[in-house]
Chains A and B, each alone.
Chain A
Amino acid sequence: MSVETVVTEDDLAEMVEQVWASYLDPEGVNPLIPTGDDKQTTEVHSTVSITGTWHGHLVYASSTQAARKAAAAFLAMEVEEVGQEDISDVLGELANIVGGNVKAMLPAGCFLSLPTVVMAPDTASYYPAAERISGLWGVWDGEPISISMWQSVKQGETA
């Protein structure tokens, strides 16, 4: 079963809006601006996997600079003070938050993994058995950010 119609780009956008309002842009002055550019380059990838009645991944990806800014906003630090551990922790939590809300929109009986954060380009290489089914691409302060859903190919083929 594809969840393309269950979790749409609009759903992802709504979740992102809530995350920004809660943690990254509580003043509402610096939102994520959708561009639809799915070819944008990202360098930090945070993933939570979903298993159970649906198999796949939710990936939060951004440039290193956007990751630094997110960590700084989340942790109330200066961007210059942000270290790798801060980036890993904050991006893991961001993927966890969006992934948890995505899971709630999937069929009952799904489980969410703990997040994994990789600081390297090219998301696709991490999910050879999954295909992207939905996503939101945009810029925040001029820096690329995306949130995408990947579904297990095997499950997609047999559904």
Chain B
Amino acid sequence: MVIDDSRAMRMILKRIVAKLNFEAVEAGDGQEALDLLATMTEVPELALIDWNMPNMNGLEFVTKVRAESRLREMTLVMVTTESEQSQIVRALAAGAHEYVIKPFTEGAMIEKLALLGLVPTGANS
């Protein structure tokens, strides 16, 4: 799942995860993502989440997902321009597994996802 209010950023992230054989759904903010999750029978394995979004920001989304047992298995990765140490700590404390700072290269994103065990053997080769 790709959650970002920028359509351009959603496209870039979708391109990257497609190379890793993920089928991505997208949402423009945290609330839209929660609404979408509520309709899904199968919980996505991964969510890439922007921080600054209208309606519901990424930190609120992470907090809400972590409070929901049905969504416990989702791997949450913040993908954001918020690069201060204090913000990174807040996101990780709220339940994000990883943190990627924009701008990022495709290679850097794939490396992060590999660290989380989300890159299948042979992907992106």
Binding site for B on A (CB under 8 A): 18-19, 21-23, 26, 71, 74-76, 85-86, 89-90, 92-93, 96-97, 99-101, 103-104, 108, 112, 114
Contacts and interface: CB of A to CB of B under 8 A. Distances in A.
A76 B6 CA distance: 15
Contacts of A75: 8, 11
B82 A100 contact: yes
A40 B4 CA distance: 33
Chain B facing A: main interface SS: loop
Contacts of B86: 108
B52 A23 contact: no
Interface stretch (B19-27, B66-74, B100-108): B100-108
A18 B103 contact: yes
A89 B8 contact: yes
B80 interface: yes
B9 A100 contact: no
Contacts of B9: 93
Nearest to B83: A104
Nearest to A91: B8
Tell me if A's interface is mostly helix, strand, loop or mixed. Answer: helix
A108 to B, nearest CB: 7
B89 to A, nearest CB: 13
Contact of B102 (A89, A92, A100): A100
Nearest to B105: A22
Listed residue (A19, A23, A76) with the most chain B CB atoms within 10 angstroms of its CB: A23
B12 A100 contact: no
B112 interface: no
B6 A100 contact: no
25 contacts: A18-B103, A19-B103, A21-B103, A22-B102, A23-B12, A26-B106, A74-B11, A75-B8, A75-B11, A76-B11, A89-B6, A89-B8, A92-B6, A93-B6, A96-B6, A96-B52, A96-B81, A97-B102, A99-B81, A100-B82, A103-B81, A104-B83, A112-B81, A114-B52, A114-B54
Given A22-B105, A108-B86, A76 B15 contact: yes
Find the residue from A75, A90, A92, A100 having the highest chain B CB count within 10 A.
A100
B83 A101 contact: yes
A76 B106 CA distance: 14
Contacts of B81: 96-97, 99-101, 103, 112
A28 to B, nearest CB: 11
B7 interface: yes
Nearest to B50: A96
Contacts of B102: 22, 96-97, 100
